[in-house]
């Protein structure tokens, strides 16, 4: 399995790590401890005390420092041991690794590659839970399947018509007509119109409208998706091109797939709709229930797919016209991975 290491990975919801709290996470087979000091500074370190390899995520925050709660080694924010209880002399170079981390869009992001290349402008420019004027729903799922299979699922929404036939009840337009797909430097964009259907092609939904739907998918597994409805005839009047206004105005969802190990992943998702009244603070509960049902359909299918792959590792896939987006993205990942091995510290701009 190949992953781009020079990328920001979502480690956790920022609001789940309050001041003074300590959280163990896993990304790309590495155990990490993310903690927030009393003044609010985030730090990510290897989750393995230098003394006897106990997890620092079982430790406690002390002001701007983190103490291992096995025998009490104290670490500063650079990963250096600054106190060994019962011993005055601290040998040079006693430290654990530090991973660059930053807080954006309501998430904590960790850079898994060369720290010198960790530029915050490479955090995917997605709308998140820090936007005002929306109500939000959020959730997460742990998968017994590799991140790549989840990425492929999100990149190829032709599955919507079939896998989610009972939950999202969307028309077969999703599978029968292909989106327009464009490559970007660190991602792919997919756009499409639904003409003369219920919003987003939902079967039986009235009135009939034209819907513009788009998503952008960034390395290494960050998706943002939105749609907006228009009067009938708008899609043709625009020749199927992108409308001028902001599609995220009424609705957006941003999601992230973080590889924990080669065959497990954590899937984070948030949905936002425009706040209609001041007293409206929660995401519509019926809609949220449908989303959760739909996402469990994906999980059942993808985990079963992973088990099938494990039983027949040599079996090959067949590419179809609907796979274009997933193919472009896989190609981009390969290119970036190749660049990392030849030039491990790309210049930031
Ligand atoms: S294992 Fe951390 S102090 Fe001993
Ligand atoms: Fe799905």
Give per-residue pLDDT as tens, 240-291. Answer: 999 999 889 899 999 999 999 999 999 999 999 999 888 888 999 999 999 9
Higher pLDDT, 342 or 289: 289
Q: Please state the rounded mean pLDDT for residues 152-169.
A: 95
- Predicted pLDDT at 196: 95
- Is the model's pLDDT at 347 over the cut of 60? no
Residue 96's φ and ψ, nearest 5 degrees, are: -110, 165
Token pair belonging to 18: 């309050």
Give per-residue pLDDT as tens, 51-108. Answer: 999 999 999 999 999 999 999 999 999 999 999 999 999 999 999 999 999 999 999 9
Distance 228 CA to ligand 1 centre (A): 54
- Predicted pLDDT at 318: 93
Q: Please state the rounded mean pLDDT for residues 170-191.
A: 95
Token pair belonging to 153: 């699922």
Cα–Cα dist 30/45, whole Å: 10
Supply the Cα-derived Rg of the chain in whole angstroms: 22
- Is the model's pLDDT at 122 over the cut of 70? yes
Q: Alpha carbon 68 to chain centroid distance?
A: 30
Ligand number nearest CA of 300 is 2
Distance 147 CA to ligand 2 centre (A): 14
> Average pLDDT over the chain, rounded to whole?
95
Q: What is the DSSP string of 244-263?
A: SS-TTTTEEEEEEEEEEETT
- Cβ of 49 closer than 6 Å to ligand 1, yes or no, is yes
CA angle 266, 325, 9 (to 5 degrees): 30
Distance 65 CA to ligand 1 centre (A): 15
32-64: b (≥16 Cβ within 10 Å) or e: bbbbbbeeeebbbbbbbbbeeebbbbebebeee
Q: Please state the rounded mean pLDDT for residues 296-325.
A: 95
Question: What's the predicted TM-score (pTM) here?
Answer: 0.95
Give per-residue pLDDT as tens, 125-136. Answer: 999 999 999 999
CA angle 115, 116, 117 (to 5 degrees): 90
Question: Which of 51, 59, 74, when mutated, tests ligand 1's pocket best, judged by the most ligand atoms within 8 Å of its CB?
Answer: 51
- Predicted pLDDT at 61: 98
Give per-residue pLDDT as tens, 204-252. Answer: 999 999 999 999 999 989 999 999 999 999 999 999 999 999 889 899 9
Cα–Cα dist 305/145, whole Å: 8
Cα–Cα dist 343/339, whole Å: 6
Distance 331 CA to ligand 2 centre (A): 22
Q: Which residues surround ligand 2, an ion (CB under 5 A)?
A: 298
Atom of ligand 1 nearest to the CA of 59: 2
Residue identifier of the C-alpha nearest atom 3 of ligand 1: 71
Cα–Cα dist 225/214, whole Å: 6
């Amino acid at each position: 399995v190949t992953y781009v290491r020079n990328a920001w990975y979502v480690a956790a919801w920022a609001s789940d790590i309050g001041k003074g709290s300590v959280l163990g996470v896993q990304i790309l087979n590495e155990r990490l401890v993310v903690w927030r000091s009393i003044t609010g500074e985030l730090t990510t370190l290897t989750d393995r005390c230098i003394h006897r390899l106990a997890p620092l995520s079982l430790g406690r925050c002390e002001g701007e420092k983190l103490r291992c709660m096995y025998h009490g080694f104290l670490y500063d924010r650079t990963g250096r041991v600054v106190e060994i209880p019962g011993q005055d002399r601290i040998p040079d170079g006693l430290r654990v690794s530090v991973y660059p981390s930053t807080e954006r869009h309501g998430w904590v992001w960790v850079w898994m590659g060369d720290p010198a290349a960790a530029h915050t402008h490479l955090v995917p420019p997605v709308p998140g839970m820090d936007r005002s004027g929306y109500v939000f729903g959020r959730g997460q799922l742990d998968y017994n399947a590799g991140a790549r299979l989840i990425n492929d699922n999100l990149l190829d929404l032709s599955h919507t018509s079939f896998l989610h036939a009972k939950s999202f009840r969307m028309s077969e337009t999703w599978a029968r007509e292909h989106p327009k797909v464009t490559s970007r430097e660190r991602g792919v964009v997919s756009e499409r119109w639904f003409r003369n259907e219920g919003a987003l092609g939902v079967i039986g939904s009235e009135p009939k409208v034209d819907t513009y739907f788009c998503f952008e998918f960034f390395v290494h597994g960050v998706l943002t998706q939105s749609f907006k409805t228009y009067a009938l005839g708008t899609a043709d009047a625009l020749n199927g091109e992108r409308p001028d206004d902001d599609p995220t105005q009424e609705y957006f969802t941003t999601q992230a797939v973080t590889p924990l190990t080669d065959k497990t992943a954590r899937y984070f998702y948030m949905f936002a709709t425009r706040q209609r009244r001041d007293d409206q603070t929660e995401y519509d509960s019926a809609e949220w229930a449908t989303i959760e049902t739909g996402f469990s359909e994906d999980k059942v299918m993808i985990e079963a797919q992973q088990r099938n792959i494990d039983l027949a590792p040599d079996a090959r896939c067949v590419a179809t016209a609907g796979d274009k987006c997933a193919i472009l993205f896989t190609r981009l990942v390969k290119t970036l991975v190749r660049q990392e091995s030849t030039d491990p510290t790309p210049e930031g701009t």
